[in-house]
């Protein structure tokens, strides 16, 4: 983990990620380096320490909190004599477990195949360079080419299916826009409490769990708010630090709902020590998906655990910028509904225009 301020917090977050994938964490090794090692990513001293620890604690699998090159992964596997899963593969795995909708499943499968394909290609060039192609020609090469072609075909089919689903969704969105209904998207760091807040606002039973990425697919529901009327609320996939860029691309369709929203509720775990870092991380992703100019209210959630009272904070122009709530205790929700109504009044007349 490089150039990052809080190794311990990141290690804890990674443990949560591992648990979300169904792993039981036996031991954690934190390595601090300025520059990754080409062969093993971590230094030989740390590697040795980790190997000894793994041998003494009956470990089945090694999870690595960094994207590894195929060569690094193989070298580390050799050192441990165990299967190694890097951060990208782990996150993909969790996404695969969580995807519920047809579209979500297609997106995950596409991202997994793309990840696999880059590995096949790189593995091939790596071996070719190392061994001058000897022993890699003939059936081995043909098999590899066939694998690549089969995956390529599958990727094409998935892309076509996805764009069909996306077209359908755009049509649905347009018809909603014509009705002049305001759309609100919940965004935020994973585990901030988006699903819980979504449930509290819509009184529905969306899945909430103390796991990362409990929400993978965008869930949308129509609610009625006094002084605001009909509002469409969407719960989105949780953002996370260093989300692999390949995943950001693959999940753009999911996040598209966010880009189209009239108002963002940026849900924050007010009780987290990493709160400010997480806010920055989410803002970074919002910028990447082209959503940074959408009006946004910061919702400081979990005030019951953070020791705040429900309240509303305005900026100098009188616009509401922060609302303090507890989605769990359902406190401060009237204030939040009022904030949504006020925001609708401000953007209200532009809703139809914004959509087109
Ligand atoms: P998401 O990943 O942002 O959708 O987060 P979830 O809604 O799944 O919530 C993550 C965890 O935080 C769950 O264990 C929730 O019960 C918990 N949580 C959510 N809201 C609150 C809150 O207001 N107070 C407290 N103490 N915990 C909360």
Q: What ipTM was estimated for this complex?
A: 0.99
Mean per-residue pLDDT, 49-67: 91
Helix axes 102-131, 139-178, angle to 10 degrees: 150
pLDDT value for 47: 93
Average pLDDT of the chain is 80
Distance set, CA 104 to CA 57, 100, 101, 171, 253 (Å): 37, 6, 5, 18, 9
CATH number assigned to the domain comprising residue 82: 3.40.50.11060
Structural domain span for residue 136: 99-159
Give me the phi and psi of 230, to 5 degrees please.
-75, 130
Residue 31 lies in a domain: yes
Residue 315 lies in a domain: yes
More confident residue, 4 or 232: 232
**193 Cα: distance to centroid of ligand 1 (angstroms):** 4
Q: What is the pLDDT of residues 287-346, one digit of tens each?
A: 877 888 999 999 999 999 999 999 999 999 999 999 999 999 999 999 999 999 999 988
CATH number assigned to the domain comprising residue 196: 3.40.50.300
**Pair 88, 208 in one domain:** no
**Pair 232, 86 in one domain:** no
Residue 278 Cβ inside 6 Å of ligand 1? The answer reads no
Closest by Cα among 335, 204, 353 to 265: 335
Specify the pairing of strand 229-235 against strand 263-269.
unpaired
**Pair 151, 240 in one domain:** no
**Pair 301, 194 in one domain:** yes
Distance CA 176, CA 171 (A): 9
Residue 193 Cβ inside 6 Å of ligand 1? The answer reads yes
- Split into its structural domains, the chain has a count of 3
pLDDT value for 207: 53
Two tokens at 136? 């890699």
Residue 199 Cβ inside 6 Å of ligand 1? The answer reads no
pLDDT value for 307: 95
The answer, yes or no, to whether residue 253 has pLDDT greater than 70, is no
**Pair 202, 276 in one domain:** yes
Residue 328 Cβ inside 6 Å of ligand 1? The answer reads yes
Contact 262, 254 (CB under 8 A): no
Q: What is the pLDDT of residues 88-114, one digit of tens each?
A: 888 888 777 766 667 777 878 888 887
**Pair 25, 106 in one domain:** no
**197 Cα: distance to centroid of ligand 1 (angstroms):** 8
Residue 1 lies in a domain: no
Percent with pLDDT over 90 in the chain: 29
Apex 94 CA angle, 171 and 287, nearest 5: 55
State the DSSP H helix or E strand holding residue 301, giving kind and residue range, or none if neither.
Answer: strand 296-301
pLDDT value for 48: 94
**Pair 103, 80 in one domain:** no
């Amino acid at each position: 983990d490089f150039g990052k301020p809080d190794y311990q917090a990141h290690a804890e977050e990674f443990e949560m990620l591992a648990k979300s994938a169904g792993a039981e964490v036996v031991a954690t090794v934190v390595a601090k380096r300025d520059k990754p090692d080409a062969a093993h990513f971590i230094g030989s001293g740390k590697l040795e320490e980790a190997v000894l620890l793994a041998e003494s604690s009956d470990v089945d699998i090694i999870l690595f909190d960094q994207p590894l090159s195929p060569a690094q992964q193989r070298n580390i596997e050799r050192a441990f004599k165990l299967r190694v899963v890097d951060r990208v593969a782990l996150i993909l795995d969790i996404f695969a477990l969580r995807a519920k909708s047809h579209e979500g499943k297609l997106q995950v499968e596409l991202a997994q195949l793309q990840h696999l394909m880059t590995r096949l290609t790189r593995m091939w060039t790596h071996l070719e360079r190392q061994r001058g192609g000897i022993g890699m020609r003939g059936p081995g090469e043909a098999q590899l080419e066939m694998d690549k072609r089969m995956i390529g075909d599958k990727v094409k089919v998935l892309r076509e299916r996805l764009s069909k689903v996306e077209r359908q969704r755009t049509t649905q969105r347009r018809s909603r826009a014509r009705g002049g209904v305001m759309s609100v998207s919940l965004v935020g760091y994973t585990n901030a409490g988006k699903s819980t807040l979504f449930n509290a606002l819509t009184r529905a039973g969306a899945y909430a769990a103390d796991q990362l990425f409990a929400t993978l697919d965008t869930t949308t529901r129509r609610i009625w708010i006094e002084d605001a009327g009909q509002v469409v609320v969407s719960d989105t996939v949780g953002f996370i630090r260093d989300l692999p860029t390949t995943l950001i691309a693959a999940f753009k369709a999911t996040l598209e709902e966010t880009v189209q929203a009239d108002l963002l509720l940026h849900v924050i775990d007010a009780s987290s020590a990493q709160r400010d870092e997480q806010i920055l991380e989410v803002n970074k992703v919002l910028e990447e998906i082209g959503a940074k100019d959408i009006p946004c209210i910061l919702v400081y959630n979990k005030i019951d655990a953070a020791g705040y009272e429900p309240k509303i904070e305005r900026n100098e122009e009188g616009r509401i910028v922060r609302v303090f709530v507890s989605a769990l205790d359902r406190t401060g929700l009237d204030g939040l509904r009022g904030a949504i109504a006020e925001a609708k009044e401000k953007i209200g007349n532009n809703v139809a225009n914004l959509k087109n």
